[in-house]
Structure 1
Amino acid sequence: MSRNETPEGARWLLLIHQLPAKPAYARVKIWRRLKGLGAVTVKNSVYALPSNAETREDFAWLVKEIAELDGEAFVCEAALVDGISDTEVQALFDSARDEDYAGISAAAREIAGAGATQADLATQVARLRKQLDEIVAIDFFGADGREPAEGLVSGLEAGLHKEGDAVTTTETKAASDPLKGRTWVTRQGVQIDRIASAWLIRRFIDPAARFKFVPGTGYAAQPGELRFDMFEGEFTHRGDRCTFEVLLADAKLDDPALAAIGEIIHDIDLKDGKYGREEAAGIRSLVAGIASSSPDDEQRLERGAVLLDDLYRSFAGKGSK
């Protein structure tokens, strides 16, 4: 999963502030407020947010709070020229959100293994969903950790409703519909899971599949479209499974060679070492090379398909292991 690219000529809001040494709680209060806004430190007492109407209002209120605590603060809008790049600042935001998402993922795994009662589980999952939604709200650039965290929380939520699964829902009806002749939509800047999922779709699910690449958030599917490996997609991370694994299960593709490839994709994409596939490092490097040398998503899919065709033939020829 790739990060959204920072637009050229990005502008940032910088909050520069100073607080008195006492009372001590003032520093903690302002730090928590900055964390809640999703701001990152670019230098001592200098915090940044992407510049837009909402963040300007957020910082304006914070300046008022700092003044009420007998501190000083001002906000400026800046275009970075030298010393630190837009990409480096974006990386600060992504790193902070990935850390937040990692905490959600760890909590979800702990809840899944705790054996809580249904009532306690529902309370814990609701609290975790609220925490995840709060992080998503300040995930300005689409950090990599979002999809795995969302999948784990969604998996817990799905488990709460297993007893009612006998009733056919809109979702299960959609899953049973034909998957042929569709337009398959995914996020721009395809990487390992999306490249492999697109290969699986065209090779084994929908030979006439057409692919469409859109921004990571805010896209509403059109009639005849199916979204994969993207937030709220029909086929995306579920529980601790990557999108490739979800597609394998939903399309009922019982093929040992595809299962082996799914394990490799899982280990690369989720980075949890679940299957310990020794091929993962090499495939990761090859796909990284494809991505770095092919900025066009269609080209990445074409080159990735050649790699995956060879990998599939290799596994099919020796029985998946």
Structure 2
Amino acid sequence: MNAPVRLKTSAMIASIAAEGQRTISAPFGHALAKAAESRPRIVGMTADLGKYTDLHIFQAAHPDRFYQMGMAEQLLMMSAAGMAREGFQPWVTTYAVFAARRAYDFLCLAIAEEDLDVKVVCALPGLTTGYGPSHQATEDLAIFRGMPNLTIIDPCDAIEIEQATTALADHRGPVYMRLLRGKVPAVLDEYDYKFELGKAKLLRDGNDVLIVSSGLMTMRALETADALRADKVDVAVLHVPTIKPLDEATILVAAGAKPGRLVVVAENHSVIGGLGEAVAGAMMRGGVHAPFRQVGLPDAFLDAGALPTLHDRYGISTKAMTDNIKAWLAA
């Protein structure tokens, strides 16, 4: 009798790219190394995760400006604050769970309260690893949205990571950016896209559904729009890379542009405290009343497993989002 096939879980740094999808390798590491060529204030710092946040690219290009702080995230944040006070611009990398949960107080009081020029760039946001709750940062946006002075960025793809890194190097102040690392899909160049800090962008228009999305879910939203076209469902996609400060003006215009159009907020984050609730609050304050639904992760500790399986299970795959939107329209 043959032994059953043992399914493997996804790797810690599993790619979200579909088979055959165009990707760019380590866009953050290469963009930061390039930005540092003309910006001597930039230094790179990490908590034993240079290889897993693509900061090793920066290390190779600028070894005298790279600092390995070991597995001590609180020390990492405090050291970055000290470097910023001395006139440097530290770019700090770790996993999102460690920045949000383990080092929150240090980032809050040493960096954000002092409004220091520190960029905190974190891998494994939301459900981008199959290693279970210890590494799945499903609530990082909820944790950080309430922190004064902190700008929050959730880029969609490799193109936007490159553009955002350059833009943030010219921006003064504390920033938290979610990072897709490794071989990252490239999709936004097909839409003549240019990242602007604090701005949402309408990538495509449509009469039946408006998907307001951030991060990798914008890629899923565009795929969903293509899939629904076969069912004669016309889908608009509004990409919101800056979670804070939120571009409420653009969101309100889009949400109110076509009365009766279903508004769906899609995010790689818990439905508690993220982009969905931010958009809903903006709509209520702005007097925009439209049918509203959320695509996001449940308020729960998620399973470990292979990423495609988990994305289907928790509703953030293209198929799951497509099926849900069709059901909402039919209800």
Q: Settle same-fold status: TM greater than 0.5.
A: no
Q: Which has the higher contact order (CA 8 A, sep 6+)?
A: 2
Larger radius of gyration between Structure 1 and Structure 2 = 1
Question: TM-score normalised to the size of structure 2?
Answer: 0.32
More strand by share: 2
More helix by share: 1
